[in-house]
Structure formats: structure tokens, C-alpha cells
A and B are shown apart, each in its own frame.
Chain A
Amino acid sequence: MFPFSFEWIWDLSHMIFMGGLWYSLTILGLGMTYCILKTVIDTMHGKGGHNH
């Protein structure tokens, strides 16, 4: 899973497979970070509540 685990080989299979994994995880992580940060900012600006 990580380049420091001893099974890791810098070959095409690892790069494609793990590349796909880390790419997906990055999108999910960045997406959620964006949502939470924006929510914090929106809430601080007094958005939300009963009136959209």
C-alpha cells in the first residue's frame, strides 16, 4: 500500500493500481475538506438556519 512496505516494487502494476487508489482517495479527501471548510466559512458568515 505504501512505497516503504517491502512488497512494494516500482513497476507499472503498482503505479497504475496504487495510483488509482491514491487518486480516488485524494479526490474524496479534498472534496470533503472543501465542503467542511466552506461550511465553516458560510456558517461564520451567518448563512443557513431556517431561511436558505
Chain B
Amino acid sequence: MDSALIPEGVNRCSFGKFAIGIIIVGGVLLWGVYAMLLIWLKGLNQTNMNDYYGFALWIWADLGVIALGGGAFFTGLLRYIIGKDELKNIINYAVLIGFICYSSALLILAIDIGQPLRGWFIFWHANVHSMLTEVAFCLSCYFAVLTIEYIPLILENRQIDKVPFFHNLAHNMHEVMAIFAATGAFLSFFHQGSLGGVAGVLYSRPFAFREGIFIWPWTFFLFTWSAAAYGPCFTLFVTRLTEKISGKKLVKQNVIDLLAKISGWTMGTYLIAKIIDTWYWATVSAPSMGFNLIDFYSNNSFYGIWILVAEIVICGIIPASILLTPKGRSNSTLLFTAVSLACIGVLLNRWVMVLQVMAIPVMTFENWVLYIPSWQEVATTILPVAYGIILIMISFRYLPIFPQERELNP
């Protein structure tokens, strides 16, 4: 039915099967849209946030998807600036995943603010000293970069490509893509960092606060570094998942191996920095404010020291070790386990830097406050996931995302 739109030489499932898939995921998407409209019409009282939880599930989701979407800027940097040419076989998918992650982040932010119609104030009345301002500016600009990177891919659709103007536009955009990728890397460095800065500058929240250099707390660098390390893991995770669902090998092992290896090294060095940071914070920074490390992990029913172990050891050191060894990378089960654990690890880190910060009492006569999101918050967080799946389904079906697909599936 739609075979004229499908790239030449590749096999795709029947249109009926594809349509059923879209309808099922579309149902989830509509559920999210309903919750989103409820929130926009009735206000944030539809959530379980409160005056102790100014930031909650959504800000975590924002930080999470941006970290996971970090694969786009880092792979782009490696491909266009550093010259790792093999990565051209996965860059399209990294860009698509990044595009989904960043558009989701912007949507969640638009739902999260109390007065959505005043959202433009963050640009117009910008306070240049706020980390959130830096986040908003760089995020929007980088989303523009990702759109610019995604457009040529759309233009390469078999039918669109027949139009000379679009064919030439795609060609010309590819020609100068390195400049866009460099701008994207510059912007990403700052917004990934400033997301870390959002928590790190809170000098009145001993759990979040970190010293730093000039105006940037250490979390600034840790967030950029971790996005560069863990983002490609998410790209690999989604690639592997797509391969499993489509039943096809889409990217050659040497490409996967290269990205996994670079990710492993970045993750390893990040973890060293993270452990030093945690050590210094636990033994110097927090005690200077009157807190012992264990104060942050006791007297409540959820946040125990397990979360620190899970983040740094189970979802940090273990996946990094797998990714750093050639045997680990060549074994597809081990590799998939490693990238899955890594994704959980970075999500845990972002959770801790948002939700645990809110939960810990700072005044001596207050108690821990825990929070469970409302269904509206959950639905609006799942909404971008459903949207992402639909965009991947459509892009995978109609656009030549994987240059090696034909060769690998003759």
C-alpha cells in the first residue's frame, strides 16, 4: 500500500501490522495528551507536587531524557569533528533519538510551568545568572540544531528526494553539517552542564551543593561528562531494541564496538571523577554544613545507601567494565546488559539530583517528605515515550536511517 514510500531494497512489515502498532501506541499517546490538557486547563493541582516538591517527576524526566539524548551530540562530535568516520552508520539514529529526547524535554517543560502562557519570559526577561536560563537557551538552540540535522534525513525519503529542490537541499545541508554539529556540541556542553548546575548551585541544599570553578559547580562538568558517556549507551540500547523488534541486523558490529568502547572509556573516567566528587562532598563539603553522609540516607523509608551503590557500582562500574573489555563488547547479551544498566544508572543519578534533594530535610525540626506522582504526571511522562516510539516507527519505515541495512540484509 505504501511501498512507494519505503526506501529501496529494504523489507518492512505489512502496512496493516504497522498501522495496528501505531494505533496501539497512539492510544497511549492520547492518554498522555488527555492528561496534558487536564493540566493545562486545570493547573498543576492535578499533580502530586507540593510546596516541598517544587521539582518532581517531570524535572527528573527532563534531566533523564536530555542525558539519554546526549548520544546525539557526542556521536556528532566524534563523527564530524574528531573524524570517527565509521560512526556515520549510526549517526542518523543518534540524531533521531536526540531529536525525540529534546522535543520531549521541551514539551515536558511547557507542561511543568505554572503559567505556560508566560513561558517566553525565560527568554525575554532572562536572568543570565540562573542556571535554568542557560538550560532554556541552550536547549532551545540545540533543539534547532537537531531539527537541522533531522531535516536532511526526511528529505532523503524516496519520494521527497525526487524533487530536485529537496534533493539539493539535503545535499547542501550535509555539506555544512560539521558546522552545525560543532555548534550543537558547544550548546550541548553548556546545557548538559547547566542542568547539573541547577542542583549544584543550591548552596542552601547541602545534598545538592558542590563547590566548583568560577561560576560552575562540579556537577556542571559531571553532568556533561555523564551525558557524553551514557548518552551513546542509550543510542546503542535503542538500536539493539530496534534490531530485535525488526528481526534484522542494522548496524555492523565494528560500529557498535567503536561507540561502545568510546562510551566505556568516557564512563570509566566519569566514574573516577564522580567517586572523587562524592568522596570530597561526603568528607568535606557536607560536614562543613553540619551533615554526615549517612544523614542523607537514613531516617526514611526509601532513600538508603543502596541508591548510591546502585548508581555508582551496579549501574556504573559494572557496565563500564563490560564496555571496556573486548570480550564484553563482542558478546551481545553482555553488551545489551551493560548499556541497559548504564541507562538506568544515569537515570538514577538524575533522580537523586532532583527528587532526593527535595526529600531531605534541611531545617533540624523538619522531616523527610516522600512523594508519589499522580496519574496525570505519570501519563504526561509516558506521553513522550509513546511519541518517540511513533516517530521511530515512521522514520524507520520511510527514511533511510541505517546506511548498512541493505548490505547486512541482502
State yes or no: do A and B touch (Cβ within 8 Å): yes
Number of B interface residues, CB 8 Å? 32
Given contacts A35-B169, A35-B172, A47-B168, contact A24 B141 (CB under 8 A): yes
Q: Which residues of A contact B144 (CB under 8 A)?
A: 28
Are A17 and B134 touching (Cβ within 8 A)?
Answer: yes
> Chain B: interface secondary structure?
helix
- Dominant secondary structure at the A interface: helix
In the complex formed, the residue of A with least CB distance to B126 is A1
B406 in the interface (beta carbon within 8 A): no
**B169, A39: Cβ atoms closer than 8 Å:** yes
**In the complex, B42 has a CB within 8 A of chain A:** no
B127 cross-chain contacts in A, Cβ below 8 A: 7
Q: Known: A17-B134, A31-B179, A49-B162. Is A36-B128 also a contact (CB below 8 A)?
A: no
- How many angstroms from the CA of A5 to the CA of B124 in the assembled complex? 8
Q: Does B308 contact A (CB under 8 A)?
A: no
Q: Would you call A18 and B128 a contact (CB within 8 A)?
A: yes
B125 near A5: Cβ-Cβ < 8 Å: yes
Residue B278 at the chain A interface, CB threshold 8 Å: no
Partner of B164, one of A1, A32, A35, A48: A48
B167 x A25 contact (CB < 8 A): no
Q: A16 CB to closest chain B CB, in angstroms?
A: 8
The reply on B48 being an interface residue by CB < 8 A is no
Select A17's contact among B128, B168, B173, beta carbons within 8 Å: B128
> Min CB distance, B8 to chain A, in Å?
12
A36, B166: Cα distance in complex, Å: 10
* A14 / chain B contacts, CB cutoff of 8 Å: 128
- Closest chain-A Cβ to B315's Cβ sits at a distance in Å of 33
Task: Spell out B's residues near A (CB within 8 Å).
Answer: 123-129, 133-134, 137, 141, 144-145, 148, 162-165, 167-169, 171-173, 175-176, 179-180, 183, 186-187, 190
Between-chain CB contacts (< 8 Å), 27 pairs: A1-B123, A1-B126, A7-B126, A17-B137, A20-B190, A21-B141, A24-B186, A24-B187, A27-B179, A28-B141, A28-B144, A31-B176, A31-B180, A31-B183, A32-B148, A35-B173, A35-B175, A35-B176, A38-B172, A39-B165, A43-B164, A43-B165, A48-B167, A48-B168, A49-B167, A50-B162, A52-B171
**Which 8 A-B pairs give the minimum distances between C-beta atoms?**
A48-B164, A48-B167, A17-B128, A39-B169, A42-B168, A39-B168, A48-B168, A35-B172
